[in-house]
Structure 1
Amino acid sequence: MIIDKKLLDQVTAEAQASPRLRMNYNFHETLDAPAQRLLNALEPGTVLPIHRHMHTAETYVVLRGRLNVDFYNEDRQVTAHYELDPTKGAYGVNIPRGQWHTIEVLCSGTVIFEVKDGPYMPLAPADILE
């Protein structure tokens, strides 16, 4: 399968139609796969709480669009801020295992390629920073 404008446009249209304003397109065959590889189309206004993944690091590569990625400490203080914009040479970020983080989508049509270790694990309440 080729990752092209047609596929990005398809996943973006699904994100725009979704109440969550985001949509995954999984390349892994099952949620139990040892590598979770996916496109994640994100629209401004999508809500992603400050969270962490205790079992895996996570890598984002921006295919198009722009977003901010913020790292936090336990006190909800920003410890690092990254603006990802491939037109400015900032293509992606690796988020270490256990790092509190969130994103802010800056423009419509943003799509990232995301990779993390499987299996898929929904966020537990202890992994969301309220």
Structure 2
Amino acid sequence: MQIDKELIMDLFDKAVVSERKRMYYDLRTSSSDGSQRMLNALMPGTDVPIHRHPQSNENVICLCGKLVEVLYEEDSLGDTMPMRMDAQDVPNGKRLKESARYMLDPSVGNFGCVIPAGVWHTVEVIEPCVIYEAKDGKYGEDGSETNEK
């Protein structure tokens, strides 16, 4: 298979009409593949809950568009809470504070990042983008955690 402009435009077309304002394309070659490798088209306004992958790094490469990866660290003593979040939203009552922001924008040479295993993170989509994501473990069986109730 080839990842080309036609595939990217098809993903954008599907993401625009999706209720979640995003659409993924599975790049695994078989259902027995124990990893997650995908293209993910993200539109501004999509809501990606703050989450983490305790058992795997997440590799993110931005093919087109612009987004910010926002990383958080646990802060049991602080009062700082991410937007859209309060104390009961955080697993085990732990507070999170922003620890890093990575602007991914291939037009200026910022192509991607590696999010270490166990780090809470989300994205802020600045303009429609397509990212390549790779993680270890099958979706739903990889130990990923979210702060959604």
TM-score (norm 1): 0.90
Aligned to 2:99: 79
Note the aligned Cα RMSD (angstroms). 1.7
Aligned to 1:88: 108
Conserved in 1, the CA contact under 8 Å of 2:104 and 2:112?
A: yes
Q: In the alignment, is residue 18 of structure 1 matched against residue 18 of structure 2? A: yes
Q: Give the partner amino acid of 2:64.
A: R
Q: In the alignment, is residue 101 of structure 1 matched against residue 130 of structure 2? A: no
Q: In the alignment, is residue 114 of structure 1 matched against residue 133 of structure 2? A: yes
Distance 1:119 1:35 in 2: 5
The unaligned stretches of length 5 or more in structure 1 are: none
Q: Give the partner amino acid of 1:83.
A: M
Superposed CA deviations along residues 21-73 of structure 1, whole A, max 9, x for unmatched, are 0011001132x522211100000000011110112111110000000001101
TM-score (norm 2): 0.79
Distance 1:102 1:85 in 2: 16
Q: Give the partner amino acid of 1:73.
A: E
Q: Give the partner amino acid of 1:62.
A: C
| Partner SS for 1:13 | helix
Distance 1:129 1:37 in 2: 23
Deviation, structure 1 residue 123: 8.5
| Partner SS for 1:106 | strand
Residues paired across the two proteins, number: 127
Q: CA distance change for structure 1 residues 19 and 64 in 2, over 3 Å: closer, same or farther?
A: same
Conserved in 2, the CA contact under 8 Å of 1:76 and 1:129?
A: no
The unaligned stretches of length 5 or more in structure 2 are: 75-94
Conserved in 2, the CA contact under 8 Å of 1:21 and 1:45?
A: yes
Conserved in 1, the CA contact under 8 Å of 2:136 and 2:142?
A: no
Distance 1:123 1:34 in 2: 9
